[in-house]
Structure 1
C-alpha cells in the first residue's frame, strides 16, 4: 500500500530533509527510523523535495510503500508518538500506488520572513532573518516583477557544477509588509539549490539601493552566481506547501 504523509518540522537542529550517511540528524532519516521500527524492517520514504539545513516546513509531503495494509490513523499516531518534538505528522492517507510525492509535484510555495525593526524578535528568532534595516519595498517589488516568469536562474543557484537545466518558472513573488517585518511568498514549479535564499538576498540589496534594477535583469542573462546577491540565512525560510496542480491555491488541500 502507498501512503501519503504530510509533515511539519522546525529545521533548526537538522542537516536538512535528505537522509545522509554521515549524520542521523535529518528529517527523512528520523521518519524512516520510526517507520522501520513500526514495520520491523527497513523502510524508505520519498520526499517531495529537499529542504536545506535550518530550513523549516509547514507542509512537506512524502510517500511510503508498505508491504502490509495499515490503518493510516495508526501510522500517524505511531509516528507522532516516537518522532522528536520538532517533527510532526499532520496527515496520513492511502493514495494510488503510482503516486510519487516528488515526481507528481507541480510546484511549491515557500515563505521567507525578514525582521526590519530595531528590536529583535526574540521569541521568533529561529524562524525569521533579523535584518534590522528597512529596505525600499517599492524597489523590491519592481525587482520581483523582473524575476517572475520562466527564466534561466543559474545566477541564483549555489551548485556551480549543476549539469541539469537551471530553467525554472516562478509564478509569483508576493511581498507584504507589516509592523517590523517583510514577508516574501515565492510560488514556482521548482527551485534550485539555495535559489530562494539568493533571490531574497538580491531583493534586499535592491531595496537597500546597493544594486540597481537593471542589474537584476542582467543576472538572468549572465548566468553567474558571483554576480547575484548574498545568500539569506536558512532560518527565515519555510516550505509552506507542495502543489500537485499549477492552478492549485495555497488554501486548497492536496
Structure 2
C-alpha cells in the first residue's frame, strides 16, 4: 500500500468516525488570575480553574461529555494569558451566544474541532514567563544567562521536578530558556510538575526549591499542524452561487433549494460539514446518496449533520 493510499484511508476513517457521532470538540481559549483559585484541576471543596469553568458552562446550559482536557496544567497561583481547555459536546456552541466570564476567569474565544482527541498530545509548544522581583535575585546577569544556556536543549530534567513529577516514566523534554529585561522566558514541548518554578530558582538563585507561583505566567500554547488541520471554519454559502460546476452536474436539487436547505457550512482541511434540518437531510443526500455523491465530485469530502 502506498503512502498516498494510507493517508486516504486515514482521512476516510476520520470522516466515518465523525459521521457516526453526535459530538463536536471545542477549544475554549481562556485567561485567568491564578491567585483566585486553589488549584487547576477539580478538587472536592476547592475552587479550581476547571471547576469554575465547568460552572460557567452550566450557567450557559452547555452539557459536556466527561472530563476537561488542557493545553497546559498550571500550579496554584499561576496566571494564564491564554490557556486552552478542550471539551466534547453535542451542542452547537457559539462564542457570541455565551456568558464568557466569571470571577477570575474569562473565555476569549472558541474554536470547533473533532471530538475525543488526546488533546495535550496535540500541543506543539508551551510558553511561560517568570518575573521575579529584582531585589530578590541573587545571581548576576552573566551567571543567569550561563545557566539558561546550560539548561536549554533536549535532555532529562528529572532533577527539576517534584516528587510527583519524578514518578513519571519519561523525563525527557526539549526546553529553551532565555533571560531578557529581568524576566525568564521558557518554551518547550512539555513541562514536568513544578519544573518552571524549580528551574527559575536554580537559574536566578542557585536553589532547587520551587519559587512562588504568583510570579509565573502561562503565556500561550502552540497548536500542532495536525490539530490546526482539524479546526473547522465557517464557509460562505455563496459558494453555491459561484460554483460553475453545479451547472455541469445534474444535481437532483436546484441551487435555490440547496441554499434554502443548508443552514450553514463549515470546513477543515479534510472535509466540509453541511448543516441541515433533520427533516431535510434525506432530500439533500438523495435517493441512494445520488445528490450527495454529485456534490462530493464538486466540493470533495462532505459530512451532512442535522441541526434543529
For the criterion TM > 0.5, the same-fold answer is: yes
- 1:163 offset after TM fit, Å? 3.2
Q: 1:28 aligns with which of 50, 58, 62?
A: 50
Corresponding residue of 2:128: 110
Corresponding residue of 1:166: 171
| Residues 194-237 of structure 1: CA deviation (Å, up to 9, x unaligned) | 1011101101224xxxxxxxxxxxxxxxxxxxxx6221111111
Whose Rg is larger? 2
Corresponding residue of 1:210: none
- 1:142 offset after TM fit, Å? 0.8
- 1:108 offset after TM fit, Å? 0.4
Corresponding residue of 2:59: 37
Corresponding residue of 2:179: 175
4+ residue runs of structure 1 moved beyond 6 angstroms? none
d(CA) in 2 for partners of 1:67 and 1:186?
A: 37
Question: How many residue pairs end up in the alignment?
Answer: 200
Helix, strand or coil: the match of 2:163? coil
Structure (1/2) with the larger helix percentage: 2
* Larger relative contact order (CA 8 Å, sep ≥ 6): 1
- 1:244 offset after TM fit, Å? 1.8
Q: 1:234 aligns with which of 209, 213, 231?
A: 213
Question: TM-score scaled by structure 2?
Answer: 0.60
Question: TM-score scaled by structure 1?
Answer: 0.72
Q: Which runs of 5+ in 2 are unaligned?
A: 1-23, 226-308
Q: Which runs of 5+ in 1 are unaligned?
A: 118-130, 207-227, 247-254
d(CA) in 2 for partners of 1:46 and 1:74?
A: 23
**What is the alpha-carbon root mean square deviation over aligned residues?**
2.1
1:156-235 equivalences in 2 (<5 Å): 156-160=160-164, 161-170=166-175, 172-177=176-181, 182-206=182-206, 229-235=208-214
Corresponding residue of 2:279: none
d(CA) in 2 for partners of 1:59 and 1:40?
A: 22
